[in-house]
Amino acid sequence: MNPFSLNGLYAITDNNLIPQERFVETVECAIVGGARIIQYRDKSNDKIQRFEQAQALSHLCQKYKIPLIINDDVELAQQIRADGVHLGKEDAKFSKARAILGTDAIIGVSCYNQLSLAQQAVKEGASYVAFGRFFISRIKPQAVHAHVDLLSQARKTFNCPLIAIGGITPDNGAELIAAGADCLAVIHGLFGQTDVTIAAQRYTELF
């Protein structure tokens, strides 16, 4: 089993929001502000940059003793010995990811607005399941909408950590926590702000 408790602010990186020359420094600001989990998310095809940034974040997360999750890329997660991977419906199969990364790896699964996807993921042994988007998202404006009631249903159904994502702000996040979310996953609300540390603190206070 992995040694990490999955709760609190779940920070997801975005290379369009974080200056390359201040990449690690900016993520560290989120951690200082209270981020408890970091997900490295980079949709580019620059393999060298992806490796270097992910490896640097791995060292950073080890320093602060928090988990680093790699978005989509099981191979990269294995290469840098990340703590886990996050899978969407178009990504690698859960069984393949588990076979490659081992029994201790954190493997999270996007379940969008469908409890049935979460049931399948939990059955396969997912470390956590993620639902959303709950509010209008700047990053994925076309993403399917999930109702807050879905979290309440999921909380009654599953014992694993529940992650909420999509347009979450310090003003609407408390509603999701009250409904059962263990983590609030945030991209623009953190890395699209002038002061990342203060932005992180505002989310952290909700918990």
DSSP characters over 2-35: -S----EEEEE--TTTS-GGGHHHHHHHHHHTTE
Is 98 among the residues known to form the active site? Answer: no
Contact, 166 vs 183, CB < 8 A? Answer: no
Maximum C-alpha span of the chain: 44
Return left, alpha or beta for 167; rule: phi > 0 is left, psi -120 to 50 is alpha, else beta. Answer: left
Query: Which member of 110, 127, 133, 137 is catalytic?
Result: 110
Could you confirm whether 95 is annotated as catalytic? no
What is the residue-wise DSSP string for 26-39? HHHHHHHTTEEEEE
Instruction: Go through the chain and tell me how many residues it has.
Output: 207
Cα 92 from Cα 95, distance rounded (Å): 8
Active site residue 133: no
Could you list the active site residues? 41, 110, 140
